[in-house]
Structure 1
Amino acid sequence: MADYVRTGSVRPVDEERPDPVSRLDEAAEALTELHEAFTGEESLDDALQRVAETATRALADADAVTVSVVTGQRPHTAAATDRNLVALDEEQYESGRGPCLESARRLTPVRAVIGEHRDLWPEFEAAAARAGICAYLSVPVVLPASNDAEARHVGTLNVYSYTSTAFDPFDEGLMRLFTASASATITSDQRWRHSQGKVEHLEQALASRAAIEQAKGVLMAVHTCSADDAFEMLVEQSQRANVKLRDVAAKLLDSVTKP
């Protein structure tokens, strides 16, 4: 296989790799950028796209990054810095085998040099060779659950390179640190959004309760009835008009406050 495929996108085999300190600094800078970029308002897919884009700057030989979400249902690619390489992920999903799925199942990083695993992952190997990919690194990452019924689901950060000598054990360790930190950041972000949603829901509930109580007071004064009777009047109107109780109360209050 050729030492490199695309001019300007790869590093020749005989060129020395950056020293570990420089590589660690690059990863640290990428993580800092990732943490500072989160706003607490992004969707999970947007957050994963940001993770993918940042990961390409964390490794010197990372030419493209995808993020696979591997759940009980069919796996899918949630983010990608190069949509053309999503086909390589799809080959693994369709065949049920490949380094991405291997990483998710074992919960360990998987490094692959294209051409060395034709018997193990023939579909992926063929697709990677057609795309000019020479090396691959997949690292598992625990992602926030999509709903309260799940504790978590597993994804993988898939790093592609056009350089055949890309990715060594040090890169593997860097990506494990990167994915652990990214997972913690996304989880915190999602929990913040969830808590904000609960607060907003509570505020709406309190506002609705206040409106209903005021409407009950108006009806008690007009009809000289008890609080229970006033509430029954509101409920009856709500059912008759097929309108939420708080909206009935708000309409009543609006009618008595208009000049």
Structure 2
Amino acid sequence: MADEPETFPPSAAHPNGDRPDPVERLDETTEALAVLRDAFTGEEDLDEALQRLAETAARAIVDADAVTVSVLKLDQTRTAAATDALLVEVDEKQYSSDRGPCLEAARTLSAVRAVVGEHRGEWPEFESAAEEHGIRAYLSVPVVLPASERSEAQHVGSLNIYSRTAAAFDPFDESLMRLFTTAASTTITSAQRWQRSRKHIQHLEQALESRAVIEQAKGALMAAHECTADEAFTMLVERSQRDNVKLRNIALALLRTVTRSG
């Protein structure tokens, strides 16, 4: 990664070379985080939470024209959220070539700013795709979930910010985005916790439903064969093992037979 210049050339967005006041930019980020916090319901899955994160981040940085979120999981990298679907191609060019600023941010766990046109030797695929879509500057910031009592800090991906302004994203913007991703990681953690809780509830509901079906089937067998509950259950288990069919499905089939015959 090239050293950050201390000043940036004038651009269409800042014709006098002036950037918004740092306090104003900090206020924008603070307001965006408040929106993210207030809008989060705790019932979103991870991709929905990341989409909300991308949309909110686009509001936090003055020169942001679009934001995507790259998620790294084992050997697979994907774009889980985007405020402009057309720019997902720029991310995907980096994944397929295994190089580019978003992967650099992920591997170094530090913010990476790229001015398009200055990294042709390092990331030619990224450069070509970015130029094709009119992107002039790119800032990628790693998203790291905080450590907990049960797990260490976990890197989940990168927040990628696109701009059509070459002078976009100075070191202050990098600091703002590091602050933003640190605070926003709470949103992702809550989404993951909700997913785990929802799956646990679904498993409990399925177990209770299966138990009810099996109890009904046992009752039908007890009535038909004048046997005990244990004997009826043994019949169901033996049929399940013989036919290699789940016990609940055996019970359901039995109840359907009883219903038709009745």
CA distance in 2, matches of 1:76, 1:200: 27
SS in 1 for 2:117: coil
The counterpart of 1:60, out of the listed 50, 62, 65, is 62
Alignment CA distance shift 1:89-1:3 (3 Å): farther
How big is the shift at 1:131?
3.0
Between 227-236 and 118-127, report the one with greater CA deviation.
118-127
Q: 2:35 is matched with which residue?
A: 33
CA distance in 2, matches of 1:222, 1:57: 69
Alignment CA distance shift 1:84-1:204 (3 Å): closer
Q: 1:78 is matched with which residue?
A: 80
For 1:74-113, list aligned pairs within 5 A.
74-113=76-115
How big is the shift at 1:84?
2.5
How big is the shift at 1:153?
5.5
Asked if 1 retains the 8 angstrom alpha-carbon contact of 2:115 and 2:136, the reply is yes
How big is the shift at 1:117?
2.8
Deviations 1:180-236 (A, max 9, x none): 222221221121121122123213313432443454355445534333311122234
Asked if 2 retains the 8 angstrom alpha-carbon contact of 1:234 and 1:245, the reply is yes
CA distance in 1, matches of 2:223, 2:89: 70
- Flag structure 2 segments of 5+ consecutive residues without an equivalent: 1-8, 147-152
Q: 2:3 is matched with which residue?
A: none
Q: 1:223 is matched with which residue?
A: 225
CA distance in 1, matches of 2:132, 2:213: 65
SS in 2 for 1:140: strand
Match for 1:109: what amino acid?
A: A
How big is the shift at 1:64?
1.0
Alignment CA distance shift 1:249-1:85 (3 Å): closer
CA distance in 2, matches of 1:184, 1:222: 57
CA distance in 1, matches of 2:154, 2:24: 34
How big is the shift at 1:94?
3.1
Are residues 1:162 and 2:175 paired? no
SS in 2 for 1:75: strand
Asked if 2 retains the 8 angstrom alpha-carbon contact of 1:13 and 1:165, the reply is no
How big is the shift at 1:59?
0.5
CA distance in 2, matches of 1:121, 1:237: 62
The counterpart of 1:11, out of the listed 6, 9, 13, is 13
TM normalised by structure 1 equals: 0.79
Are residues 1:21 and 2:26 paired? no
CA distance in 2, matches of 1:203, 1:130: 51
CA distance in 1, matches of 2:236, 2:125: 65
CA distance in 2, matches of 1:65, 1:116: 21
How many pairs align?
A: 247
Asked if 2 retains the 8 angstrom alpha-carbon contact of 1:38 and 1:189, the reply is no
How big is the shift at 1:17?
2.1
Asked if 1 retains the 8 angstrom alpha-carbon contact of 2:142 and 2:159, the reply is yes
CA distance in 1, matches of 2:86, 2:250: 54
Asked if 1 retains the 8 angstrom alpha-carbon contact of 2:10 and 2:16, the reply is no
Q: 2:179 is matched with which residue?
A: 177
For 1:189-228, list aligned pairs within 5 A.
189-213=191-215, 215-217=217-219, 219-220=221-222, 223-228=225-230
Asked if 2 retains the 8 angstrom alpha-carbon contact of 1:69 and 1:153, the reply is no
Asked if 2 retains the 8 angstrom alpha-carbon contact of 1:215 and 1:250, the reply is yes
